[in-house]
Amino acid sequence: MRKQSQPALIALFFGLVLMATVAVSGAEGASEPGTPRINLGEALPLWSCIPFAGMLLSIALCPIATPNFWHHHFGKVSAFWAASMSLPFLLAHKEVALHEMLHILIADFVPFIILLWSLYAVSGGILLRGSLRGTPAVNSLMLVLGTALASWMGTTGASMLLIRPFLRANRHRKNRAFMVVFFIFLVSNVGGCLTPLGDPPLFLGFLQGVSFFWTFRLLPHMLLVTVLLLTAYFIMDSYYYRKEGAAARATKGTREPLKLDGIHNLLFLSGIVGAVLLSGAVDWGQVSTLGVQRGVQDWVRDGLLVLIGALSIATTRIAVREDNNFTWAPIVEVAILFVGIFITMLPCLLILKAGPNGALAFIINAVTRPAHYFWAAGALSSFLDNAPTYLTFFNTALGSFYPDVPQAMSVTHLMGEQPEYLAALSAGAVFFGACSYIGNAPNFMVRSIAEEAGTRMPSFFGYILKYALVFLIPSFAAVTVVFF
């Protein structure tokens, strides 16, 4: 496992920042009773998003410009940008800002990282043994399988289940980076568009009243993008396979039959899916944690996920994880970087939630057609959390078409009378998550696992310029022409 930048100290730093700001807000006085709480999204200027931009640029540039420094100190960089946003934010807006920060950490980051951790722990205990050789045909079949699984076990679950077998099947290949990139495109993103289990924004839509199977309307959109990307992948893989010559062919020796070790972890994976479904199907009331209201069922889900992950670790032989090249480094890196991302992106999300009254009103007001929803929701989902971005444009659509109608009825009308708008924002929020490493949670994890396995992945901007702009944007343009 590669060295990390003392995550315990970084977590302590964030805790001290929060405790200090509580004391500051208390010492300087909270708002007097009866004083209305300000709408931060309406009050925040656009330049409050600068720390988020700094965080993104650090992730993009530091591994290239100062790789040794980044390798040992990326946690400190994350802490710096988080502090540069949180301290002025808390001093300026006191308890209102503190509540928003606690909300994004408790209600968003904690369940986010618990879900990722449980999927990572369970999938790391499933080992595919045997002689699986990464030919263009075999690789394409694995991508098809992962794309099909993603809507039923989530893009994160499908990615964590298949990325290690995919990498091992191609360990004899010289050119592997493009394979992992297309894996991210298809398995970690596009494949998750058919059910609320596939991707977080669709799950939020389900909680808002969108029927479970409504998103099957996105099957033609998904098939078009999948066919275009798979065709491009197969052509590239065939070219490199021929170019690599004999080195890419099956090696001499006895071929081992394929066999799954740690197969009981598939039950744990189904348990994770069940826990997520349960949290969306029941309402056991609310509970306040440090002033943040969360559903009891959400805390129960998080507890079940921790239990499932712990059971997987306890019941899986250490040899299976060792043979799977399993380490905790990728999930630790994701946790450290994404806590900084979640904190620094808070002003951006609040401004978006303010809709036409916020600093990004020019975007909200310009969205009037299905194609606009597809590209606007998609562009923001490429770099921001796609779940709140989905909700922003979901509510924009409801307000535009049914301003005075109760939500339950307006969602029904939206599904039946304006389905192209709902399809556009749903597809945009899911598909465009593939456009950058931080567009969707499994992207970063897949990249980290691939690099740990010896695959040299493109940089942040290299990924966007060499792959996303070349393959994804034309595919999304085709979706726009055909469907929107």
Q: What is the pLDDT of residue 3?
A: 44
Question: Between the ranges 43-52, 88-97, 112-121, 180-189, where is the mean pLDDT highest?
Answer: 180-189
pLDDT band at 235 (very low <50, low <70, confident <90, very high): very high
Q: Among all chains, which residue has been given the structure tokens 């899911």?
A: 430
Q: How far apart are CA 205 and CA 483, in angstroms?
A: 21
What is the spatial distance between Cα 367 and Cα 379, in angstroms, rounded to a whole number?
Answer: 12
Residue 6, helix vs strand vs coil: coil
- 10 contacts 78 by C-beta, under 8 angstroms: yes
Helix axis angle for 441-452 and 177-186, nearest 10°, is 160
Burial of 424 per CB tally in 10 Å (0-12, 13-18, 19+): buried
445 Cα distance to chain centroid: 9
Domains in the chain: boundaries: 122-248+256-483
482 versus 171: the higher-pLDDT residue is 482
- pLDDT tens digit string along 307-328? 999 999 999 998 888 887 788 8
Phi, psi for residue 284 in degrees, rounded to 5: -105, 20
The model's confidence at residue 72, banded by pLDDT at 50, 70 and 90, is confident
- Give the residue carrying structure tokens 């988080």: 82
Our CA angle for 427, 430, 431, nearest 5°, is: 75
Q: Is the pLDDT of residue 143 over 90?
A: yes
Specify which of 354-363, 409-418, 427-436 reaches the highest per-range mean pLDDT: 427-436
Residues 41-65 have a mean pLDDT of: 86
Centre a 10 Å sphere on the Cβ of residue 55 and count the other Cβ atoms it contains. 24
Predicted confidence (pLDDT) per residue in 380-418, tens digit: 888 876 776 787 788 778 777 776 667 668 788 888 888
**pLDDT averaged over every residue in the chain:** 82
Predicted confidence at residue 248, as pLDDT, reads 52
Q: What is the mean pLDDT of residues 38-56?
A: 85
219 three-class SS: helix
Q: How far apart are CA 36 and CA 33, in angstroms?
A: 9
Nearest Cα residue to 262 out of 145, 446, 158, 128: 128
Q: Say what the pLDDT of residue 254 is.
A: 56
Residues 146 and 157: their CA atoms lie apart, in Å, by 10
Tokens of 42: 């309406």
Position 32 scores a pLDDT of 44
The arithmetic mean of pLDDT across residues 437-452, rounded, is: 85
260 has a pLDDT exceeding 70: yes
